[in-house]
Amino acid sequence: MSTFQTLPGFRDFYPEDFARRHHVFRLWRQSASAFGFSEYDAPVLESLELYKAKSGDEIEAQLFSFTDKGGRDVALRPEMTPTVCRMVGARANALKRPIRWFSIAEFYRYERMQKGRGRCFSQLNADIFGEPGPEAEIELIALLVQCLCAFGLREEDFFVRLSDRNLWYYYLEALGLDESRTRAVLAAIDKYEKSGDAAFDGYAEKFGPLEAGLKEKILGFLQIKSLPAIEHAVAALGVDRLAARLADWRKLIDGLGAMGLSRFVEVDLGVVRGLAYYTGFVFEAFDRKGELRALAGGGRYDDLVAKLGGPALPAVGFAIGDMTFSLLLEQRGLMPTLVFAPDVYCVIGGVPERQAAFGDIHALRAGGFRVDYPLKEVAFGKQFKTAAESGAKLALIYGSDELARGVVKVRDLEQRTEMDVPRADLIATVRDFFSAG
């Protein structure tokens, strides 16, 4: 056993793991491209200041941060949102709107380790800038659903919980809470599912215990699970802003319905999201069985670009993490077993045959075929065995007899048929074989 191991919460990607991750990234990338998103990237190391007081206390406490040799306070990125706001903000006037960007990248958080959570993980981030209305949320929730369905997951496997911080703000204001109390209540709601009543301890420390009648109303609102129930609760209050917000809700729910996605989306005011910058609709994806931590999370953050020095620019987005997502695919048997088979395996006689084979091997590889052969001279029989075990579709046989006749024996390893092909026609024959499927 090696003396050195990965740091706790970090992962090595051996070829089988890498292939699985590649499969996930490939389908995410394909989905984001189909929705018209453009890919970007950025440095993993950022100024610490970018996250201070912007991402929220929880993420700030989990930062991998240090002072670099130039005396700068820096941090490994724990998320992409502040970075993408910085990038878009710097070029906001030159970019055609709506700006639809995505990235697939690695992030670092010093988290307590648990199933589906590590200290280094990947996310697909997708964000839309410049669109204030719920049309952007429709696009993003549709993309989120597609990023899961692309792997064969269905409505019985996962769902998206949809909520609204605006609604909460307006509701708590109508109940008479000021801004700082509202923030403390939202922090409690974020923890309520996990911690129950203890979630309100933080509020009580700052402001004293919540008055019983008020708490009851808040817990009632938190349990709302449908648009008609929101409409009912809001109608009773008679607050104009709340009523106006319902028009956005209707647009969003109808748009998702028209895309055929209602079965994936559930209204759930118990979700408020822990990150500090969210301003409007927020959403999270979970497995239906409730066995895993969140698969994805996102929402609207209309103030963050301006807070980071850019112009006022509405924004909404989400991120899916690779860890819980891969666990879910494996649980459902949807993570394919990926094989590293060559297309062609060459069985080669002696030294002169090897000389002849090398030219063809290089030409085939340059033509995009995966070609393998024994690096050292090996007995013919053993080579046939390796060819059969390799998973290759074709074996090319370079024996002394074939060489003398100017041909290569091409064996179809599945059909167990073979034919002699003149050397000059070999590349075309292999190409025809694979393009015929």
Q: Which residues bind ligand HAM (CB under 6 A)?
A: 79-81, 109, 111, 117-118, 121, 123, 125, 127, 275, 294-298, 317-319, 321, 323-324
Q: Per DSSP, which regions of 202-361 are E strands? A: 265-267, 281-287, 296-300, 315-321, 344-348
Nearer CB in complex with ligand HAM: 130/374: 130
Q: Per DSSP, which regions of 310-387 are E strands? A: 315-321, 344-348, 371-372
Buried b / exposed e over 102-118, threshold 16 CB at 10 Å, is bbbbebbbebeeeebbb
Nearer CB in complex with ligand HAM: 284/360: 284
**Distance between terminal CA atoms of the chain?**
44
**Which residue reads 């997502």 in tokens?**
325
Nearer CB in complex with ligand HAM: 280/349: 280
Instruction: Let me know: does 141 contact 162? Beta carbons within 8 Å.
Output: yes
Nearer CB in complex with ligand HAM: 146/324: 324
Nearer CB in complex with ligand HAM: 335/378: 335
Q: In the bound complex, what is the minimum distance in angstroms from residue 294's beta carbon to ligand HAM?
A: 4
Q: In the bound complex, what is the minimum distance in angstroms from residue 28's beta carbon to ligand HAM?
A: 13
**Residue, CB closest to ligand HAM:** 321
Residue 44, SS3 per DSSP: coil
Q: In the bound complex, what is the minimum distance in angstroms from residue 313's beta carbon to ligand HAM?
A: 14
| Angstrom distance (rounded) from CA 413 to CA 421 | 16
Q: In the bound complex, what is the minimum distance in angstroms from residue 429's beta carbon to ligand HAM?
A: 48
| Angstrom distance (rounded) from CA 276 to CA 56 | 5
Q: In the bound complex, what is the minimum distance in angstroms from residue 338's beta carbon to ligand HAM?
A: 22
Instruction: Let me know: does 287 contact 157? Beta carbons within 8 Å.
Output: yes
Nearer CB in complex with ligand HAM: 173/302: 302
Nearer CB in complex with ligand HAM: 52/117: 117
Element (H, E) at 119: none
| Torsion angles phi and psi, residue 396, rounded to 5 | -105, 125
Q: In the bound complex, what is the minimum distance in angstroms from residue 207's beta carbon to ligand HAM?
A: 27
